[in-house]
Amino acid sequence: MTSFDDAYELRTFPAATDDAATDAWLASCRLGFHESTDTAEGAAGDARRAAADGRVLTGVHPREPRPGSLDDDAWPVATFESFTKTLHVGGGTLLPAHLISGVTVQPTHRRRGILRRMMTDDLARAAEAGLAVAALTASEASIYRRFGFGTATRERTVTIDRRRPVRLLAPTTGTVELVPVTGLEPVAREVFAGFHARTPGSIDRHAGSWNGRLGLATGDDQKPDRSLRAAVHRASSGQVDGYVTYRVTEKAGERATETVLEVVDLVTSTDEAYLALWELLLTIDLVTSVTWAAAPLDDPLVHAIDDARAVRVTHEQDHIWLRLLDVAAAFSARPWAADGVVTVAVSDGLGHARGTWRLASAGGAGTAERTADGHADLQLDVATLGSLWLGGVDPVTLTAAGLVRELRAGAVQELRAMLRPERPLYGVTSF
């Protein structure tokens, strides 16, 4: 049987502009996600943003390309990329995280161990570089648990019916202003920095995050999106602490054409800004519904309006998946809500987190130390540990799901109290 290394060559390199290897990698990645063939302008924009992020690209190439095939034209048959951004782990701490994206394998090269090789090599490099955690957002939910990733946050799509009045129960503060989308970027970046600094679970935005959300150069022609509108919220001090971009579209409904206000980006660094911007969205005329695809699970809006039944959850799915590479560094970086000691036995097929760990917290700080005595209060795998780490998933729920085995009575409840976050986990960055 031909070995992987005899059949394929992995090429790993930094993304760069005016670079044939980067262009071929990007073209193959677009193929994998069923995106249209790029124009020269679109390809240049993608390469520019990838280089700005410092992305490291991996392509898999057959050692014997088939004549006339895409791989014969230097396209990789599989793609994988990674880069570093910060993850808010609580208490204002922004921890460098290893982000994984652009994962594709052409259908003609499936079931040959390509994804496993790309993933294991990449995670090994990240661990060697001293990164404590890897993160990804998944196009398919059944792929990444086998590599130790667990769902840490979820997101919802909500629709608010505007055919009946919807009002806030409490008065808002500050002022809301409609503003031009052009020129919003510097303010939006400041607001996001404030949001990122206060919100556990948030991941810093990458270069490609901003274009579609702010109507900047988008699409293959790299032209601005003129359908977007924008508003900002100013606190009583005059500082902008929130913004929203949105578009209004006509869509065919069950009985008639509906006018839908689609929230494209809604970011705030204060609770006051969040409610005030929603007050604006719920009072814009000639709209039958408002929809948002990145709503938090624990949404204050549901409690803030006089008719919570006007809010419908139309979709919910996993958002950020986390994989611990350095258990000690990861747990010491986050704050702890209660004092306690729980020992956890962790299985890990790749070995990075395998072992029995004594989690101890006191005075808001904590440690994770590997023990050799074999005693454990809880048993779980590394994917479940990734779900629990920041407190976004309740260990009681995961115990009921059969993913945590309690060996000492009360240990699950103790861990639950220790890991409770100061705010619900939430993020608005996809990658």
Q: How far, in whole angstroms, is CA 327 from its chain's centroid?
A: 21
Query: For residue 125, what is the enclosing H or E element?
Result: helix 114-128
- The answer to whether residues 89 and 334 touch, using CB atoms and an 8 Å cutoff, is yes
Residue 68 has a pLDDT of 85
Instruction: Determine the Cα–Cα distance for residues 20 and 84; give it in Å rounded to an integer.
Output: 24
Q: Do β-strands 8-14 and 229-234 pair in parallel, antiparallel, or remain unpaired?
A: unpaired
What 3-state DSSP class applies to 366? strand
Q: What is the pLDDT along the chain (431 residues), one digit of tens a residue?
A: 678 999 999 999 999 999 999 999 999 999 999 998 778 888 898 999 999 999 999 999 999 988 888 887 799 999 999 999 999 999 999 999 999 999 999 999 999 999 999 999 999 999 999 999 999 999 999 999 999 999 999 999 999 999 989 999 999 999 999 999 999 999 999 999 999 999 999 999 999 899 889 988 766 666 788 899 999 999 999 999 999 999 999 987 666 789 999 999 999 999 999 999 999 999 999 999 999 999 999 999 999 999 999 999 999 999 999 999 999 999 999 999 999 999 999 999 999 999 999 999 999 999 999 999 879 999 999 999 999 999 999 999 999 999 999 999 999 999 999 999 999 999 999 99
What 3-state DSSP class applies to 34? coil
Residue 38 has a pLDDT of 76
pTM > 0.75: yes or no: yes
Residue 1 has a pLDDT of 67
Instruction: Determine the Cα–Cα distance for residues 69 and 215; give it in Å rounded to an integer.
Output: 37
DSSP line for 138-184: -SSTTSSGGGT-EE--EEEEEEEE-SS---BSS---SEEEEE-STT-
Instruction: Determine the Cα–Cα distance for residues 144 and 121; give it in Å rounded to an integer.
Output: 15
Residue 332 has a pLDDT of 98
Among candidates 78, 59, 124, 118, which has minimal Cα distance to 98? 124
Residue 254 has a pLDDT of 66
The structural domains of the chain, ordered by start, are: 4-131 (3.40.630.30), 155-317 (3.40.630.30), 326-419 (3.30.1050.10)
**Long-range contact set of residues 125-132: C-beta below 8 Å, sequence gap at least 24:** 126/82, 126/98, 126/325, 127/325, 127/326, 127/352, 129/98, 130/326, 130/329, 131/84, 131/96, 131/97, 131/98, 131/325, 131/326, 132/95, 132/96, 132/97, 132/324, 132/325, 132/326, 132/329, 132/330, 132/333
- The answer to whether residues 409 and 378 touch, using CB atoms and an 8 Å cutoff, is no
Query: For residue 79, what is the enclosing H or E element?
Result: strand 78-90
